């Protein structure tokens, strides 16, 4: 059989089924385009129609979320949970609250999550959920009423052994708290059915930091393959949420100088670097006051706000996109290379457009896909589940040691799979192949379900 023709027919058929699901197809194409050598070596995956099965979510739950604002006006949002794949464990993945949420975006995220979770080596299936509800500009009580309404339906479908949601864009410890509270009330059951809980009622230490720290550890591992390190490297971080802020913290602790980050207003460029004092200001601004980066530029005169701009034009050696999908395009990729960037380490899910991905893959720089380098968050979610089952808490140091080990293992699996299938140094191919094989083999073992 001609595998390339099979893969291309397969992609065409999928696109025809749901022509509007562009971002999901982008993710599928990105994974499947790496798999030809695997399918050639193991035709059983083709015979057993593993590709056709793996891209179909096991279940999608779609529901109405009515809620009342502080003025008593009624609003209706859409809620979803995409339970993508449970071959390796219960569905696991975050909840995104953002106006962009729809079935397409959640299928993309659930699909990515399946391979990411597989790479962590922990027993986790893949899922993703959310709502087109935007938490920005809402009061705490509005967010609480919304979260309770969201769970009034979702509680039927999740649970400690079934599906364990966590946070994502627009969904942090506050939202997890409200959702967990309502889940507990409805089920009368205190179990770790969510991760990202606060540490005083079941959460793991270091969970908030884990995705960002993991990104920095992954970058460190990549640079080490070239006998290099983060010491003295100028770094760009785009997003300024949980992932971005803790990536800044760890990149700095490992010797890097982070000179930019970004939010809805634009990018701040701080040529002196975001040091400890400025980071403390940033954390307070973003996490406590939910303010805007404009204030950072007002507070620290050496920093400049570049309104509506992304950071990719600023010269750097290490770039970590940590905001959202397709935030780094072809032009940005070319500019990064032109400015001498040596490493692009993805912190968000699929931040590079397909054209940018191709350019970075074809260059000689180190380039890692989000499903590998941002897996630290869900990995520590897995460790939160372990601690909940054991009814103990590990120290920060214990969790950090696990996190570092897991990121090192993921890095190694990517390199090994890439080398084994004839693409040494290609982290994207390696992550796709290693993530896919584990899920595919479990699906073969479990038969046609």
In a 13 Å sphere around the CA of 133, the CA atoms on its Cβ side amount to 31
Residue 128 annotated as catalytic: yes
The distance of closest approach from Cβ of residue 113 to ligand GLU in the complex, given in angstroms and rounded to an integer, is 6
Task: Please select the residue that binds ligand GLU; options are 92, 233, 250, 438, rule is CB under 6 A.
Answer: 92
The distance of closest approach from Cβ of residue 239 to ligand GLU in the complex, given in angstroms and rounded to an integer, is 12
Q: Are 357 and 431 in contact (CB under 8 A)?
A: no
Please identify, using beta-carbon distances, which residue of 182 and 373 lies nearer to ligand GLU: 373
Which helix or strand (DSSP H or E) is residue 93 part of?
Answer: strand 91-97
Binding flag, residue 244, ligand GLU (CB under 6 A): no
- Going by DSSP bridges, is the β-strand pair 318-320/343-345 parallel, antiparallel, or unpaired? parallel
The β-bridge partners of 63 are: 79
132-191: contacts with ligand GLU (CB under 6 A): 166, 168
How far apart CA 14 and CA 49 sit, in angstroms, is 13
Tell me the window of 39-47, 91-99, 282-290, 391-399 that interacts with ligand GLU (CB under 6 A). Answer: 91-99
Please identify, using beta-carbon distances, which residue of 131 and 234 lies nearer to ligand GLU: 131
Please identify, using beta-carbon distances, which residue of 39 and 101 lies nearer to ligand GLU: 101
How far apart CA 211 and CA 446 sit, in angstroms, is 31
Q: Are 240 and 266 in contact (CB under 8 A)?
A: no
Query: What's the distance, CA 183 to chain centroid?
Result: 24
Binding flag, residue 381, ligand GLU (CB under 6 A): yes
* Residue of minimal Cβ distance to ligand GLU: 94
Sign for the pseudo-dihedral over CA of 10, 11, 12, 13: positive
Binding flag, residue 378, ligand GLU (CB under 6 A): yes
In which region does residue 185 sit, left (phi positive, over 0), alpha (psi from -120 to 50) or beta (all else)?
alpha
Choosing from 92, 116, 128, 371, which is the catalytic residue?
A: 128
Binding flag, residue 14, ligand GLU (CB under 6 A): no
Q: How far is CA 97 from CA 62, 78, 374, in A?
A: 14, 10, 19
Binding residue count for ligand GLU, defined by CB under 6 A: 11
- Going by DSSP bridges, is the β-strand pair 304-307/266-269 parallel, antiparallel, or unpaired? antiparallel
Q: How far is CA 328 from CA 80, 226, 273, in A?
A: 27, 25, 22
Tell me the window of 73-81, 87-95, 261-269, 386-394 that interacts with ligand GLU (CB under 6 A). Answer: 87-95
The distance of closest approach from Cβ of residue 235 to ligand GLU in the complex, given in angstroms and rounded to an integer, is 21
Binding flag, residue 93, ligand GLU (CB under 6 A): yes
Binding flag, residue 377, ligand GLU (CB under 6 A): yes
How far apart CA 449 and CA 441 sit, in angstroms, is 14
Site string for ligand GLU, 181-210 (x = CB under 6 A): --------------x---------------
Residues that bind ligand GLU (CB under 6 A): 92-94, 116, 166, 168, 195, 349, 377-378, 381
Which are the catalytic amino acids?
128
């Amino acid at each position: 059989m001609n595998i390339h023709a099979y893969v291309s027919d397969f992609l065409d058929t999928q696109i025809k089924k749901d022509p509007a699901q562009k971002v999901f197809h982008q993710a599928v194409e990105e994974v499947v385009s790496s798999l030809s050598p695997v399918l050639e070596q193991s035709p059983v995956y083709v015979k057993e129609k593993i590709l056709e099965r793996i891209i179909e979510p096991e279940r999608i739950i779609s529901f109405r979320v009515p809620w009342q604002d502080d003025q008593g006006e009624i609003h209706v949002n859409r809620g979803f949970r995409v339970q993508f794949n449970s071959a390796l464990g219960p569905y696991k993945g975050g909840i995104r609250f953002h106006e962009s949420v729809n079935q397409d975006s959640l299928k993309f995220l659930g699909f990515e999550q399946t391979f990411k979770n597989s790479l962590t080596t922990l027993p986790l299936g893949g899922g993703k959920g959310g709502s087109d509800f935007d938490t920005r500009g809402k009061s705490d009580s509005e967010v609480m009423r919304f979260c309770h309404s969201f769970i009034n339906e979702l509680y039927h479908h999740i649970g400690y052994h079934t599906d364990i949601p966590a946070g994502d864009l627009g969904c942090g410890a506050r939202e997890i708290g409200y959702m967990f509270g309502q889940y507990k009330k409805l089920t009368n059951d205190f179990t770790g059915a969510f991760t990202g809980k606060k540490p005083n009622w079941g959460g793991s230490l270091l969970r908030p930091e884990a995705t960002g720290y993991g990104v920095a550890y992954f970058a460190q591992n990549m640079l080490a393959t070239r006998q290099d390190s983060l010491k003295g490297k100028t770094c760009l971080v785009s997003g300024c949420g949980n992932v971005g802020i803790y990536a800044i913290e760890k990149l700095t602790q490992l010797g890097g100088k982070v000179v930019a980050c970004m939010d809805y207003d634009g990018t701040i460029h701080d040529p002196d670097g975001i040091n400890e004092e400025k980071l403390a200001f940033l954390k307070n601004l973003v996490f406590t006051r939910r303010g805007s980066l404009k204030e950072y530029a007002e507070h620290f005169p050496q920093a400049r706000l570049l309104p509506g701009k992304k950071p990719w034009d600023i010269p750097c050696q290490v770039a970590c996109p940590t905001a959202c999908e397709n935030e780094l395009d072809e032009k940005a990729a070319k500019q990064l290379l032109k400015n001498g960037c040596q490493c692009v380490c993805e912190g968000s899910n699929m931040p590079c457009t397909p054209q940018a991905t191709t350019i970075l893959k074809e260059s000689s720089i180190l380039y890692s896909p989000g499903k590998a380098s941002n897996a630290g968050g869900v990995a520590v979610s897995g460790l939160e589940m372990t601690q909940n089952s054991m009814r103990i808490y590990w120290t920060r140091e214990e969790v950090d040691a696990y996190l570092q080990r897991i990121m090192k293992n993921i890095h190694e699996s990517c390199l090994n799979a890439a080398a084994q299938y004839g693409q040494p140094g290609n982290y994207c191919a390696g992550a796709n192949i290693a993530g896919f094989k584990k899920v595919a083999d479990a699906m073969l073992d479990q038969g046609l379900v």
